[in-house]
Amino acid sequence: MRIMRRKEKAAQAEAADSLPVIHVEGHRLPVHARVHARARRIILRLSPDRTALRLTLPHNVPIAEGLRFVETRREWIARQLKNRPLPQPFRHGLVIPFQGEPHLIVHVPGARGTVWREGSGAAARICVAGNERFLPRRLTDWLKTQARTALLQACQHYAAAMDLKFSRVVVRDQKSRWGSCSSAGTLSFSWRLILAPPFVLDYLAAHEVAHLAEMNHSARFWQLVRTHCPHVDEAEAWLKRHGGDLHIWGAQAPSS
């Protein structure tokens, strides 16, 4: 398993090195380009973690033309980078969102156990036992477990409602997408969804489960999602407004 993970990471690193790159005010930004059959114009966005660019092209626009368009958007890119929040590594005393609510991280060196949640409202806390040096890793592992549990439950609910089957649920620190569905039925999600309000995580589960029936974003796909999930628009709006900020939590300062 570890060998496979190392191979996957090496393949991802090799793929990233082969991408076009633009340098803007000291930032190195790989450009992920894709052709979308229904795109009517060139669309440029920052990735959710603001470390790369996502370029969407109509089917009749060559990549070279898309890259020239990126060059003309340097001022816009610079403004977006200036507006990004600073990374917030996990540490004692930091307040982080958990299921959309603020929680204080508390290091409890003498306690038994690893990580647990206690209190509610303004007194909500996430406690981390053991050596403070291991707090970031232990908290991240706990958040991933919480995310997988919540996502598995939501996916099981929507799979039953849509009369579909998936093979497994995987959580990763995905940078460019909140979720994905493979042809083998594996549903993959960003663990950072556990930081968002529950209706956001719930919607992403419905979205990826629906891809088991429709591996596209056609009208039939959206009809399936909206039939079973009542908060599609609310969740999409939240992700558009706040989604990028989820990537600052537990992150280290990016290298230029």
- Domains of the chain (ranges; CATH) run 2-82 (no CATH), 95-248 (3.30.2010.10)
pLDDT of residue 126: 98
Ranking 135-149, 173-187, 204-218 by mean pLDDT, the lowest is 173-187
Task: Indicate the pLDDT class of residue 177, thresholds 50, 70 and 90.
Answer: confident
* Mean pLDDT confidence for 172-201: 94
Which ranges in the chain belong to alpha helices (H)?
2-17, 63-72, 74-82, 135-162, 198-210, 219-228, 232-242
Strands 101-108 and 125-129: parallel
Could you say which DSSP state residue 37 is in? T
Q: Pick the closest to residue 166 from 178, 183, 148 (CA basis).
A: 183
* Mean pLDDT confidence for 204-225: 96
pLDDT of residue 18: 65
Q: What distances in angstroms separate CA 185 from CA 58, 62, 248, one per listed residue? A: 28, 32, 30
Distance CA 38, CA 35 (A): 9
Task: Indicate the pLDDT class of residue 90, thresholds 50, 70 and 90.
Answer: very high
pTM score: 0.74
Is there a contact between 127 and 177 (Cβ–Cβ < 8 Å)?
A: no
Distance CA 152, CA 171 (A): 10
Is there a contact between 54 and 177 (Cβ–Cβ < 8 Å)?
A: no
Mean pLDDT score across all residues of the chain: 88
Assess whether pLDDT exceeds 80 at residue 186: yes
Q: How many CB atoms sit inside 10 A of residue 136's CB?
A: 16
pLDDT of residue 45: 86
* Mean pLDDT confidence for 131-159: 97
